Structure 1
Amino acid sequence: MASNDPEPLALSRRYFVDEAGDPNLFNRHKRVIVGRSGCSAFFILGLVDAEQPEALGRELAELRTRMLGDPYFIRVPSMQAASRKTALEFHAKDDLPEVRRAVFDVLVRHPLRFFAVVRDKHAVVSYVRQRNERSADYRYRPNELYDYLVRRLFRDRLHQDAGYDIVFARRGRSDRTRALQEALDQARRNFESKHGILGTAPIQVRAESPYRSAGLQAADYFLWALQRLYERGEERFLRYVWPSVGLVHNIDDT
């Protein structure tokens, strides 16, 4: 499938944003579930700065076509169209190791730069408890953590270019485009307060399903590699793509 990345603003920088882990801290009984089975210990937000996402999309589509026609993969469940996994899009968690290696090989050949911010969710739990002690009305919302990381990820990335085309991986069914736009606007205001530089270039924000965007599939792969390091201590995947990594900021690593 060819990339369906939307048309960007003229002369814009193109960012593709995805997450690893989840922003959930508590179960429905308000008990902490961070680090337990099914709940990550870290929440990571990352972006890929892609100069030529169309070229990346073409190469990923060609790779998928070759693999789907390869007898070696003929009975692999994730390669079947009905599964809506690798046959539809590259998604590191679902893809076979052989597929992941091939995708990583494609990514490192392209002019991509990856940036990420990381939060230790145990530290977020401590923050929430402190807030609750000060204000009995405060209630943690998972989107609160997501939007905070949007502000941190973009705090110094919205003031140098003629325009910004920012594609977020779609999360659930609700439309959060307005909330994401506000988080980006706040990041820009914070930068102005700190540095005295006002960013005025237009920002175009949209949410897309990853199967429509090669840039989002690339972001997913970088994030998966980073998550394997944080959650499992496995560094070989991140080490392989490290030349394409711009900066990883662990907010809680002091």
Structure 2
Amino acid sequence: MENKKLMDYHRFLDEAGDTTFYGKGKKNIIGENGVSFVFILGMVKVIDPLDKVRDKIVALQTKITNDKFYHVPSVLKKINKSGYYLHATDDIPEVRKEMFDLIKTINCNFEAVVGRKSIERYETKHKGKEEYFYADLLSHLLKSKLSKHDKLVIHISERGKSTKNHNLELAFLMAKQRFAKINENKNTKTEVVFNVNYPTKDPLLNLADYFCWTIQRVFERGEIRYYNFIKEQVKLVIDLYDAEKYENCKNYYNNNDNPLSSENKISPLKH
């Protein structure tokens, strides 16, 4: 019973993409020079016992550390610097395949909010501050979680100003306001506790990282093979600022009647 409660109350959150909008001379560089079109926040709920899943991920990381087959320069650099941890952007294809196979063995589900990057929205709605952009996305992830539990512990991968306590509390306040708007001004009963951590410290953040990276590949490249492989575990993806699809919530994607496809790739004309 205690394990069941523990798993119900905990979520693991990471990101993909970047919050870069400008280059030199305040030039718009969205989509240029490796700058992403979108920023993504994603949250994993693990239904299996948490320690068992951590042990699985640690075992894979240990295997990669000890097996010379994986010892390309980038892997060796990480091993020598901080100790090896899984990170989809940096991992070589063979490692990614191992991690995706592992994900399929874990009883978990994933939700994400995708924020299309727009200079106009960034300067008005988010006051030109990346932490406000982050808080806005986070509030949309939290708003549907505020009625089921007395307490929710959100384990978050550290990200500078965006994950400072005051900004996380701002996101929580925004989430409560959105919850009240949706639920006829009912008050939320859920206490939210934020636990900011590093991917090197909690392997379950590495799990969230892989899911986020998977969704990023769809929106940045129209690449869906990774998504299709773990689609059953992707419960919800909200393309938050896709105003063209607001009617009938067509910007809400699930793995049943409205899955993601290569058509979700962001074109330079639409951001």
TM over 0.5: yes
The structural deviation recorded for 1:213 is 1.2
Partner of 1:179: 167
**Contact between 1:12 and 1:162, CA under 8 Å: does it hold in 2?**
no
Map residues 1-40 of structure 1 onto 2, 5 A cutoff.
13-40=9-36
Pick closer, same or farther for the CA change 1:213–1:11 going to 2, 3 Å: closer
Distance 2:192 2:8 in 1: 9
The number of equivalent residue pairs is 238
Letter in 1 for 2:193: Q
Aligned to 2:225: 236
One-letter amino acid of the structure 2 residue matched with residue 54 of structure 1: D
> What SS class does the counterpart of residue 237 from structure 2 fall into?
strand
Identity %: 27
For residues 27 and 45 of structure 2, the distance between their equivalents in structure 1, rounded to whole angstroms, comes to: 38
Match of 2:149 in 1: 161
5+ residue gaps, structure 2: 246-271
Aligned-partner residue type, residue 217 of structure 2: R
Q: Is the 8 A contact 2:13 2:42 kept in 1?
A: yes
How far off is 1:29 after superposition? 2.0
- Aligned-pair CA distance for 1:107: 1.3
Higher relative contact order, structure no. (Cα contacts within 8 Å, ≥ 6 residues apart): 1
The answer on 1:125 being equivalent to 2:119 is yes
- RMSD of equivalent CA atoms: 2.5
Structure 1 residue 75: deviation in Å? Answer: 4.9
1:212 aligns with 2:206: no
Alpha-carbon distance between aligned partners in 2 of 1:222 and 1:74, rounded to the nearest angstrom: 24
Match 1:58 to one of 48, 55, 59 = 55
Q: The residue matched to 1:155 in structure 2 has which SS?
A: helix
Gaps of 5+ in 1: 1-8, 133-137
- Which residue of the partner structure matches residue 250 of structure 2? none
Q: Does the Cα contact within 8 Å between 2:122 and 2:129 map onto a contact in 1?
A: no
In the TM superposition, residue 27 of structure 1 has moved relative to its aligned partner by: 2.6
SS in structure 2 of the partner of residue 246 of structure 1: strand
Structure-1-length-normalised TM-score: 0.85
1:140-173 superposed Cα distances (whole Å, 9 cap, x missing partner): 1111111100111111112101310101110137
Task: Provide Cα deviations, 1:66-100, integer angstroms capped at 9, x if missing partner.
Answer: 2222232245541452243xx42100111111111
> What is the distance in 1 between the residues matched to 2:122 and 2:193?
32
| Cα deviation, residue 53, structure 1 | 2.6
Match of 1:93 in 2: 89
User: 1:125, 1:224 → 2: CA distance?
Assistant: 23
Instruction: Describe the shift of the 1:174–1:141 C-alpha distance in structure 2 as closer, same or farther (beyond 3 A).
Output: closer
Note if contact 1:225-1:238 (Cα within 8 Å) is conserved in structure 2.
yes
CA contact (8 A) 1:23 1:143 kept: no
Query: Aligned residue for 1:144?
Result: 132
CA 168–245 in structure 1, closer or farther in 2 if over 3 Å, else same:
same
